[in-house]
Structure 1
Amino acid sequence: MRLHRMTLTAFGPFGGVQEVDFGALSEAGLFLLHGPTGAGKTSVLDAVCYALYGSVPGARQGAGTTLRSDHAAPAARTEVVLELTVAGRHLEVGRQPQWMRPKKRGTGTTMEKAQSWLREYDASADAWKDLSRSHQEIGEEIGQLLGMSKEQFCQVVLLPQGDFARFLRADAEARGKLLGRLFDTRRFAAVEQHLAELRRGTEAQVRSADERLLAAAQRMEQAAGRVAQLPLPEVAAGEPGLAEGVLTWAACARSAAREALTVARVSQDAAQRTRDAAQDNLDGVRETHRLQRRHTEAQEHAERLAGHIEEHRADQERMERARKAEAVAPALALRSSADTAQRRAADEESRARRALPESFDGAEAAALAAAARKAHEELGSLTSARRAEQRLRELGHELGELEHEERADAAALEEASAWLADWDAVRHGHQSRIDEAQEAATRAGQLEGRIGPARDQVEAARRRDALGSSVTEAQEEALAAGRRAGDAREHWLTLKEQRLRGIAAELAAQLADGHPCAVCGSVEHPAPARRSEGHVDRQAEETALGAYQRADQERAEAEGALASVREALAAATASAGGAPADELAAALSELEQEYAQVRALASTLHAAREAYAHDEHEHDRRVAAQQDAERRAASRTSRRENLVREQVLLQEELTKARGGAANVADRARQLERQAALLTEAAEASRAAQEAAERLKEADGRLAEAAYRAGFDTPRSAAAAALDAASHRELQRRLDAWQQEDLTVRAVLAEPDTQAAARRPAADPAAAEQAAQSAEQTLRRAVSAQAAAEERCRELDRLSRQAASEARQLAPLREEYDRVARLATLAAGTSADNERKMRLESYVLAARLEQVAAAATMRLQRMSGGRYTLVHSDDRAGRGARSGLGLHVIDAWTGRERDTATLSGGETFFASLALALGLADVVTDEAGGVRLDTLFIDEGFGSLDDQTLDEVLDVLDSLRERDRSVGIVSHVADLRRRIHAQLEVVKGRAGSVVRQRGLSG
């Protein structure tokens, strides 16, 4: 990385625009950056760091100051632009922090957002090409090109001598923190933690596997019940013989269960045969009883049919007369229809004649029809009069509309004139409201971009404050849950041990006289063990185990909750910064209030524009309406005169056509009614004559049909006829009687029924009771067999599960032993780790050894070959970190001593050599990125002239690697020794930079 040029504007102490030509300074190889205290020497280095990483070194970043210069003009924009070459690419990176600029309109200030840009020089086109304007993308691009973080850059390029002086005198723990930040050894610490967690996990897996195997054994013991004669072996979890004992006991239990299953199957077969015989007997008794009851019911039914024989014969005779009357039915229906039609026609004729005037009484149908035709002819002559009357009404409406239009146009002209008189003032008001709303919309857009980050920062600050107490509570809860889990486990193990000691009394409680002992097989029990006071049974042990498991689960949940709260607190702190939540909330409230005000004003923009457009449209409409009204007034006069002349002519024509009626419509209605009544009366008279003739003809046909069917008179034939419902009901009774008679005769003729009637009466209740007793015996046998089969299946399943658990236990133990060895070795607690070094310390020790070797080459030249830095990996006492010792060998005495014994000047050049060596190692670690520009900050004032010459020779030798070194110091002697200088001069208007001693 080589710096070419940097431009500062309103940055730090520099109120104006300052330019630093690093290219010219680098040509000298060694240059001096000097100036009085407070002038801004360090600010130049801060600007380099800010241009590359978007922030200044850590101690100054959180100092509560801003990057903007207090000497800058209000409208001057704070900006840093750095031109450099890195990884063969010529780049320009620019940064502008957020700042309060004056408002473009009105008074006050507004927040301007931070900006960044990255450009690359294209040599082929001799032009700059934009790459990105995203803060995140630029940060990632610069980080990848340099290959180091901001902290590493500040330690490698901006060499802080004070830090390395403290590094020389620090203990191993402080050295480890610095080296860990520079070389990012968090992954090795993560490996240590991962191995520790892996060890706890494998240990929990082994413990869980042992507990699952014991649980399977206990479930097998419960499943075996009284069948298994051997007690479960008393082997605790973790003992080597646990799997063998459980599997042996399981084999014995399965054998006993299968013997019990064989006995149950034999008992079921015998009960099945007994039940089948009883069921067959029950079926035979039930069938006999059914046939006997069937024969009895058939005899009773036959006796009831014999008592109703006379009624059946009367129904048969009635059906025969009805069949004869069916031949007369068409004639009866024809005569009834003709009689009804004749009476209806006579009534219609009488009604129609009553509606006619007296002058038509006794008139024949032909005279009535002729009078109707004459009325129709007179009605047709009124068509022209109707049209004239309709036109006269239309003329009245048209004249009324003309008067209405005249009044409306006069009102419209008056209203349009009054509205148009105020148009100029209305238009000016609309334009003013639109301009105000547009300005408010612009301001609202600016404020909206600031509200979101401010609101997020307030919420993060509140979460930070709330989570502070939550972390303490979560820590306390995690510790309490851990203690509860430990107490519960200890309680469970104590109860388990007590139960195992008293297991003999628990087995003795199951003994009974005459029954064999489950342990020794004896049927005599002369001295069974007794339960002592405080005996622990299985339920108490399982209750304690459940309590321990719940407590352990609560412990894990509490630890997870603590980790979650810590992560949330870290995230909230990173987002909120160090500002108080109340202060941030107050600033946000002011910002939101201002935003709400301008947003409300901006929201009226659309309505103001619509109102303006609406009024412009209204203005055009009223001008056009005014012109139209004037044209219509001119054309109404001639039209009114034409309508009045037409109205007089039509009234004369209608006076002749109406006659004595009020109007043509009334005269037309009179003629229409008269024609209709005459027509109706003529038609009714003809229909009455025709109906009388049809009735006479129907009487003759009916008399002839009754005589042919064998009836004396038509009246007797009508009496014999049946309607459809009566006919169906009579036929149903006849069919039902015949069907019942046939059914009874068929039942009494059945051979099985006759045979059953001759046998003694059957008793189904006794046979059913015997079958139920046999069924109950069979169910008990089936239940016993099912229980035996289920016991065998459960023991087989649990045995397979126990065998699977036993097979899985061996590799889990091997994995636990391997992981435990690795975890203790990485943690430094293993016996194989002689120096008790953790993995992270071991890696840092290797890095420190490389740094010491690289620093020694320069230290020997600075000290005239006297001092050599060496790394020490001696084991530290009292629990301190081992492997990070740093000693110096004095060639004059030949003795090795601690770096803390060096004098002030010796400490300076030793720390300088250490810093340069660290820069080489970190550079190699970052992928070999070439660092062509370095800065060394202070410390030269503690050197004598000879040592200073030697140190400058070493720094000047860096030119051999085409490097340039900038020394930051106010030592006056360095101004005489180093010709290329960058001077920072402070004044009341701010600091300025001057370059001296440059070639060309």
Structure 2
Amino acid sequence: MRLHRLEVTAFGPYREHQVVDFDQLGADGLFLLHGDTGAGKTTLLDAVAFALYGSVPGARGQVKRLRCDTADDGVPTKVVLELTVQGQRLRLERSPEYERPKKRGDGYTTEQAKASLSWIDGAPTEYPPEGLTRIDEVARTVQRLLGMTVEQFFQVVMLPQGEFAKFLRSDTSEREKLLERLFGTQRFGDVERWFVERRRERGRAVEAQSQQVRELIARVSQVSGAVHESDVDDQNWLEDIEKGAVRELEGAQAEQSRLRRERESAESALAERRQLADKVRRVRQANATLAEIGEKSAEHEAWRAERDAAHRAVPVLAAHRAVRRAEQEQEKAAAEVVAAAARCELDADTPVAELRSLAGAKREEAGALAHLVPEAQQQETDRRRATELAEQIARDEQREAKLLEQQAMLPARIATAREQVEEAKHAELRLEGVQSKGTEVAALLSAARDLPAAQQELTTATASAQRAVDVHQQARDLLQDLRARRLAGMAAELATRLAPGEPCPVCGSAEHPEPGKPIDDPVRAEDEEKAQHDEQQAHARREKAAVEAQRAQQKVDGLVERLGERTEPELAAELERLRAERASLRSAAEQLPQRTAGLAELEASTERLTEQLSQLRTGLAAARSEHTALLSTVEERESRLREARGDFPGIADRRTHLLDVAARLEQLVAARTTRDDAERRLAEHREALREAATGAGFDDPAAALAAERSEERITQLTEALAEVEERAAGARAALASAELAGVDGAAEVGLGEATEAATVAREAAERAAALAHRAEQRQRDLAELAERLRGAWAELGPALAEHAELEALADVVNGRGQNARKMSLRAYVLAARLEEVAVAATRRLQKMSGGRYSFVHSDAAGARGTRGGLGLDVLDDYSGKVRPAKTLSGGESFLASLSLALGLADVVAAETGGALLDTLFIDEGFGTLDADTLDLVMDTLDELRAGGRVVGLVSHVEEMRQRIGVRLRVRKSRDGSTLELQT
């Protein structure tokens, strides 16, 4: 994995858009990231992690406040990262979730998190060419390409502040948590838990089987009554119980057979005595019955006469009831005739033939109106339909007017919508130019505001330059004067040393025509040197002042040339106008989709309105035609119906009236006929009553009615007489039977002794049967329980062996039992990984410590029986002793922590089998090193960048800046942090 470019906007302390070019930074393989505390150095590493995984390491990721608090509301928070991984160059873009002010109204709204992945050099075949936009798909793709989780990335690529010093000094449990996250050994923990859970499940199953065996043994003991001793062989104990049950059953069955025979003999004797006693009782009972019947013979004859008279009166009673019914029918028919005549408003004695003729005439008249009833119904239907059509025509005419109005307004609305769409498109095109123009005017306004200060600076610099010229001129004049005077003084001095005939030391002449004369106030060499020094200083000040004045003049000229004729108020007004125009254009541009959709809707409305008008007009024409035809038909039909209904509301009403009159006349005819028939039948029934009474042997019908008895009484008399005859016949038959022949009714038969003997024998036999049944049931129960118990024993044995084996294996996997090292499977795997880390880290630690220190991995158990396998100490080569890591000094701890981090990074990268890690970041810790140790560390870092790897260091140490040529400085200000590349 190699990083190319990072862009952050409104992220952490970075208010404005910032860019980090890793290709330029990592050209030398090593670069430094430095700056003020809190400026945002670590935030750049967070931005890389966020772009890849959507989260940041450590406690910063728990806060979830990634947006810059001072960023403008309209600037979105965004991180863009370009990198190459597994030969694929891709671009990742992410935005976190954050709160922003609403564009309309007060309050805040949540800006949802976003993520996208695009392929720069072409997508792989298994991915869509347009890239990915779902957060979960981007996360899975990044993790697959890098081959490591987010926790592994934070520990392998970004070595965080203080994390590995903490790891170096941590105890076994804390070290185990980190290693488990990095190496993904959760599956071994799952194996441990699987064994424990499997052992628990098998333990529950074995316990259930054992409990079943215990319950079966207890049930056998309960059924057999034999106590189960723990030291007795279970199989022998069960066989003894089965044999005892068989012996008990055989004895009970023999005793049952003997007592059953005794009971049968006693019961036979008792039955004979009971038969004799029953015969004596029957003889006595028959004699008593015949004597009782003889005493009541007169009463019985009276019952028989009463019953016979009631039987003879039955036909007379039937004839009497017929007379009563005929009288009621005659009275009812006469009343019906009177009521029917009243309904017809006629005399009750009107001849029947006249009534029938009148009814026929009414029905004939009603029949003539029958064919007009459907026409009358159709007339009502047509009138309702005509009304509905009129209402529908009115509604359709109103709707037609509205649609015509909408159609007339539509072209203007479409033109307006097109102008708005063009305005939005034009605004979108002009927006970038207006923004650029606004930036330019803002820069000019800043220049206009800087111009007065620059002009004042020019005035001051010009005055200073003029004063420097004056001072320099004065110093130069003084120097020239002193030189002239010095030269003059030197000639006089030489003249004092001239001698006639001796050569002049200046010109070599032996003649001295005009020797110099001494002057007043001679100048010494020291005076000339001081004046020359002052003149040089003045000249330097003059040159410096001239440069400052020239620079100030150039600044003013540049500002004036840049501003031209524009003034600060004009620029401020123009900037305000551009900002307003930019807001207006942005608003219009944002409405482009909405306006385009509105225009499309309006254009589609034209066709819809035309189609609606066409359909409406077609329906309206049909409705009008139908309405005109209906009105003509209704008017033509109405003349015929008016004549037919007469004074009635309708044809059906008149026809119903005629049919009702005919029906009432026919009812009167039927009532007259019914009354005449009823009077004739009444006379016939009265004559039949007199004949029935005489034929039944009664003097008149009244005597026959007096002999009437209820059915209940007749039944009672018949049953009583039958019972008397039955009792007498039964008694005579019993006395005459062969069974009772020779039986003396006065004889006494004793049953007490025989009954008692039979009872004693029966109870003894029942007890024996119950004992035999219980013995049989006990034997069956014991046989069934024995079979179940032997089956449970057969299943429990293998289950116990399997559980013992599984329990021993689970103990070994979880660091107990026969596990001599007391190391669980997960701890054993982690210990192997830690041993690899110690070997890899030792190579670097020996080099950085000058061969003094090495890591020593220990798998010994900890204090008080704690699990071992993750011990990590340091071997001091100076003393040859193994020291705890906590005894190292601050600088030594940093060396050990850095070595451990680098070794862990190598092992994790090899373990994951993911992408080649070409970029590595190390955050802080160099301030604890002396110069020599720092040299060793830098040599190690040089090895890291060999082969094309890029190493980024985050440090405050000044010496690191001097050692590393490529640096990225983070500057902190109130307006947000900025980045500056230094070389």
Q: TM-score range by the shorter chain?
A: 0.5 to 0.7
SS of the aligned residue for 2:770 comes to helix
Of all paired residues, the percent bearing the same amino acid is 40
2:267 matched residue in structure 1:
279
Which residue type is aligned with residue 256 of structure 2?
A: Q
Deviation at 1:892, TM superposition (A): 8.5
CA distance in 2, matches of 1:365, 1:817: 118
Corresponding residue to 2:901 among 915, 921, 927: 915
Task: Go from structure 1 to structure 2 and tell me whether the alpha carbon gap of 1:716 and 1:979 turns closer, same or farther (over 3 Å shift).
Answer: closer
Contact 1:328 1:717 in 2 (8 A): no
CA distance in 2, matches of 1:858, 1:705: 146
Question: What is the 5 A alignment of 1:298-317?
Answer: 298-307=286-295
1:59 matched residue in structure 2:
59
Which residue type is aligned with residue 78 of structure 1?
A: T
Task: Go from structure 1 to structure 2 and tell me whether the alpha carbon gap of 1:991 and 1:718 turns closer, same or farther (over 3 Å shift).
Answer: closer
1:781 matched residue in structure 2:
768
Task: Go from structure 1 to structure 2 and tell me whether the alpha carbon gap of 1:689 and 1:906 turns closer, same or farther (over 3 Å shift).
Answer: closer
1:44 is aligned to 2:48 = no
Question: Once the two structures are superposed, what CA deviation does each residue of 1:203-250 show, in whole Å capped at 9, x if it has no partner?
Answer: 89889988887776666555544xx6xx764x5xxxxxx4x5344344
Question: Once the two structures are superposed, what CA deviation does each residue of 1:188-216 show, in whole Å capped at 9, x if it has no partner?
Answer: 56666776787788889889988887776
Deviation at 1:22, TM superposition (A): 3.8
Which residue type is aligned with residue 263 of structure 1?
A: G
Question: Once the two structures are superposed, what CA deviation does each residue of 1:106-136 show, in whole Å capped at 9, x if it has no partner?
Answer: 44x32415423343438668997464545x6
Question: Once the two structures are superposed, what CA deviation does each residue of 1:789-808 show, in whole Å capped at 9, x if it has no partner?
Answer: 45545555665566566556
1:971 is aligned to 2:957 = yes
1:931 is aligned to 2:917 = yes
TM-score of the two chains, using structure 2 as the length reference: 0.55
1:255 matched residue in structure 2:
243
Corresponding residue to 1:769 among 748, 752, 756: 756
Question: What is the 5 A alignment of 1:353-364?
Answer: none
Question: What is the 5 A alignment of 1:808-847?
Answer: 811=798, 814-815=801-802, 818=805, 821-822=808-809, 825=812, 833=820, 835-847=821-833
CA distance in 1, matches of 2:863, 2:338: 143
Which residue type is aligned with residue 932 of structure 1?
A: D
CA distance in 2, matches of 1:712, 1:866: 156
Question: What is the 5 A alignment of 1:518-597?
Answer: none
Task: Go from structure 1 to structure 2 and tell me whether the alpha carbon gap of 1:754 and 1:140 turns closer, same or farther (over 3 Å shift).
Answer: farther
Deviation at 1:823, TM superposition (A): 5.6
Which residue type is aligned with residue 849 of structure 1?
A: E
Which residue type is aligned with residue 265 of structure 1?
A: Q
Contact 2:220 2:785 in 1 (8 A): yes
Task: Go from structure 1 to structure 2 and tell me whether the alpha carbon gap of 1:769 and 1:330 turns closer, same or farther (over 3 Å shift).
Answer: closer
SS of the aligned residue for 1:935 comes to strand
Corresponding residue to 2:969 among 973, 978, 983: 983
Question: Once the two structures are superposed, what CA deviation does each residue of 1:14-71 show, in whole Å capped at 9, x if it has no partner?
Answer: 1222233445545554333222222100011122233344432223345x68323232
Deviation at 1:712, TM superposition (A): 11
Task: Go from structure 1 to structure 2 and tell me whether the alpha carbon gap of 1:992 and 1:221 turns closer, same or farther (over 3 Å shift).
Answer: same
CA distance in 1, matches of 2:672, 2:209: 113
Contact 2:102 2:109 in 1 (8 A): no
Contact 1:295 1:747 in 2 (8 A): yes
SS of the aligned residue for 2:15 comes to strand
SS of the aligned residue for 2:268 comes to helix
Task: Go from structure 1 to structure 2 and tell me whether the alpha carbon gap of 1:894 and 1:266 turns closer, same or farther (over 3 Å shift).
Answer: closer
2:159 matched residue in structure 1:
159
Deviation at 1:80, TM superposition (A): 3.1
Which residue type is aligned with residue 80 of structure 1?
A: V
SS of the aligned residue for 1:72 comes to coil
CA distance in 2, matches of 1:58, 1:971: 23
Deviation at 1:850, TM superposition (A): 0.9
2:473 matched residue in structure 1:
none
Task: Go from structure 1 to structure 2 and tell me whether the alpha carbon gap of 1:65 and 1:693 turns closer, same or farther (over 3 Å shift).
Answer: closer
CA distance in 2, matches of 1:348, 1:165: 125
Contact 1:161 1:915 in 2 (8 A): no
CA distance in 1, matches of 2:764, 2:724: 52
CA distance in 2, matches of 1:890, 1:880: 26
2:179 matched residue in structure 1:
179
Which residue type is aligned with residue 112 of structure 1?
A: T
Which residue type is aligned with residue 273 of structure 1?
A: R
2:841 matched residue in structure 1:
855
Which residue type is aligned with residue 920 of structure 1?
A: D
1:521 matched residue in structure 2:
none
Deviation at 1:270, TM superposition (A): 1.5
Contact 2:12 2:67 in 1 (8 A): yes
Deviation at 1:153, TM superposition (A): 2.0
Task: Go from structure 1 to structure 2 and tell me whether the alpha carbon gap of 1:982 and 1:781 turns closer, same or farther (over 3 Å shift).
Answer: same
2:101 matched residue in structure 1:
102
Task: Go from structure 1 to structure 2 and tell me whether the alpha carbon gap of 1:296 and 1:29 turns closer, same or farther (over 3 Å shift).
Answer: farther
CA distance in 1, matches of 2:320, 2:233: 110
Which residue type is aligned with residue 768 of structure 2?
A: A
Task: Go from structure 1 to structure 2 and tell me whether the alpha carbon gap of 1:86 and 1:790 turns closer, same or farther (over 3 Å shift).
Answer: farther
Unmatched runs of 5 consecutive residues or more in structure 1: 236-241, 354-363, 384-653, 655-671
Which residue type is aligned with residue 159 of structure 2?
A: L
1:71 matched residue in structure 2:
70
1:386 matched residue in structure 2:
none
Question: What is the 5 A alignment of 1:405-424?
Answer: none
Which residue type is aligned with residue 79 of structure 2?
A: V
Contact 1:295 1:754 in 2 (8 A): no
Contact 2:50 2:56 in 1 (8 A): yes
CA distance in 2, matches of 1:78, 1:52: 16
Deviation at 1:105, TM superposition (A): 3.7
CA distance in 1, matches of 2:222, 2:261: 34
CA distance in 2, matches of 1:706, 1:825: 121
Question: Once the two structures are superposed, what CA deviation does each residue of 1:480-505 show, in whole Å capped at 9, x if it has no partner?
Answer: xxxxxxxxxxxxxxxxxxxxxxxxxx
SS of the aligned residue for 2:71 comes to coil
TM-score of the two chains, using structure 1 as the length reference: 0.54
CA distance in 1, matches of 2:798, 2:190: 26
CA distance in 2, matches of 1:203, 1:330: 96
Question: Once the two structures are superposed, what CA deviation does each residue of 1:835-857 show, in whole Å capped at 9, x if it has no partner?
Answer: 55454443322111111222344
CA distance in 2, matches of 1:782, 1:911: 94
CA distance in 2, matches of 1:712, 1:268: 79
Moved more, 728-737 or 778-787: 728-737
Contact 2:693 2:704 in 1 (8 A): no
CA distance in 2, matches of 1:348, 1:908: 131
Question: What is the 5 A alignment of 1:355-504?
Answer: none
CA distance in 1, matches of 2:211, 2:337: 114
1:30 matched residue in structure 2:
30
Which residue type is aligned with residue 20 of structure 1?
A: V
Task: Go from structure 1 to structure 2 and tell me whether the alpha carbon gap of 1:798 and 1:895 turns closer, same or farther (over 3 Å shift).
Answer: same
2:119 matched residue in structure 1:
121
Which residue type is aligned with residue 278 of structure 1?
A: A
1:993 is aligned to 2:979 = yes
1:357 matched residue in structure 2:
none
SS of the aligned residue for 2:155 comes to helix
Task: Go from structure 1 to structure 2 and tell me whether the alpha carbon gap of 1:962 and 1:803 turns closer, same or farther (over 3 Å shift).
Answer: farther
CA distance in 1, matches of 2:295, 2:899: 142
Which residue type is aligned with residue 917 of structure 1?
A: G
Unmatched runs of 5 consecutive residues or more in structure 2: 342-346, 366-646, 648-660
Task: Go from structure 1 to structure 2 and tell me whether the alpha carbon gap of 1:255 and 1:45 turns closer, same or farther (over 3 Å shift).
Answer: same
1:940 matched residue in structure 2:
926
CA distance in 2, matches of 1:906, 1:777: 105
Question: Once the two structures are superposed, what CA deviation does each residue of 1:143-197 show, in whole Å capped at 9, x if it has no partner?
Answer: 5554444332211111136333444455656544543443344555666677678
2:19 matched residue in structure 1:
19
SS of the aligned residue for 1:39 comes to coil
CA distance in 1, matches of 2:797, 2:679: 119
CA distance in 2, matches of 1:804, 1:119: 66
Contact 2:310 2:709 in 1 (8 A): no
